[in-house]
Amino acid sequence: MRLEDLNFFTRVAELGSLSAAGREFGLSPSAASSRLTNLEKELGSQLVARTTRQVSLTEAGKIMLEHARAALSEIDQARSTIDAAQDAPRGVLRISANVFFGRKHILPYLGEFRQLYPDLKLDIDMSDRLVDLVNEGYDVAIRGAPLPDSSLMARKLGGNPRVLCASPDYIARKGAPCSPDDLRNHDYIGFDPMPVWHFSGPDGEIAFNLDDPVISGDSGDFAYEAALYGLGLTVKSSAHVWEDLRDGRLVEVMMDYPITRTGNIYAVYPPAKFLAPKVSAFVDFLISKYGRPPYWETDYRLARKSAVVESAAKSA
């Protein structure tokens, strides 16, 4: 059933004339009659009783007119809502992010985002499960892993290099490793599934198997907390530990052998011909707060460089 047919029928009923409605729609008398006849055939009921001078609605026509007007009104309201949404984001924005990233890099900025878009409500799932954006109805997910569904769209928020680090207390006790060979004389923290650390060396990639950790747990968060307590070395993403590196709670080691197989942080959203304004507003806002490159890649290195310069100045 076409919208123009419903519009035409309502005008026939309002004008009480098939020919007058036909003239409004630019139809000849025969074409106007055919349009109404086709609608009646589709519904299987006669909608209009025709005479030479006027038309009148049948009982089926009266029922159809009531519902046609309601349907056309709903469609007009939908169009108005969509047009308004193009100008200012509104409605509900459903976001998924893992716990550490949401806590460190999304929650601190949501107050400012709400001030910019007061008509937008936020529904946030902070968990480490990989949500199904389409089937679960999420608008956007923040992820640091490859996309399991190639049909999803993604926008890079920044890199996410990984670093080998330990607490200052641990480094004071055990010293800092200088190469992957040194790791055999160090304590390291494992977690299930037991990972393999990959380093970039002068002759290519070097793999170090974590087959004999001094302590192991069930998550990356456990390894992070254990490193803070001085229990050993661990590998963490810079987005996770940048504040700890900047403020000296953790120390990056073996910088001449950087961790390989690092990832990026992405905003991921379902495919659509036009990206919803609320999604583009949120992603643009995050990028404006993170910077290019994002602060978790640069701030701790700038702080470390400043400390080295200050130490050199004092020694001189």
pLDDT single digits (tens) 290-306: 998 899 988 777 766 55
* DSSP track, 146-214: --S-TTSEEEEEEEE-EEEEE-HHHHHHH----SGGGGGGS-BEEESSPPEEEEEETTEEEEEE--S-S
Q: Which helix (H) or strand (E) holds 55?
A: strand 55-57
Predicted pLDDT at 274: 66
pLDDT at 87: 64
Q: What 3-state DSSP class applies to 60?
A: helix
pTM of the model: 0.67
Q: What is the CATH number of domain 91-158+265-315?
A: 3.40.190.10
The 3-state secondary structure of 238-292 reads HHHHHHHHHHCCCEECCCCCCECCCEEEEEEECCCCCCCHHHHHHHHHHHHHHCC
pLDDT attached to residue 313: 43
- CATH number 3.40.190.290 is the correct assignment for the domain at 162-252: yes
d(CA 164, CA 225): 14
Mean pLDDT across 86-102: 86
Going by their DSSP bridges, the two strands 263-269 and 153-160 should be labelled as antiparallel
Beta bridge partners of 95: 124, 140
Q: Is the pLDDT of residue 85 over 60?
A: no
Tell me if 3-87 shares its fold with 91-158+265-315.
no
Every domain of the chain and the residues it spans = 3-87, 91-158+265-315, 162-252
**Which two tokens mark 249?**
């709670």
CATH architecture of the domain with residue range 3-87: Orthogonal Bundle (1.10)
Q: Is residue 308 pLDDT above 50, yes or no?
A: no
Residue 86: what pLDDT?
Answer: 62
pLDDT digit string, tens, across residues 23-74: 988 999 899 889 989 888 988 999 988 876 678 899 998 999 999 888 888 8
- The predicted-structure confidence for 222-265, as pLDDT tens digits, reads as follows 899 999 999 999 999 999 999 999 999 999 999 999 999 788 99
Nearest one of 129, 130, 113 to 121, comparing CA atoms: 113
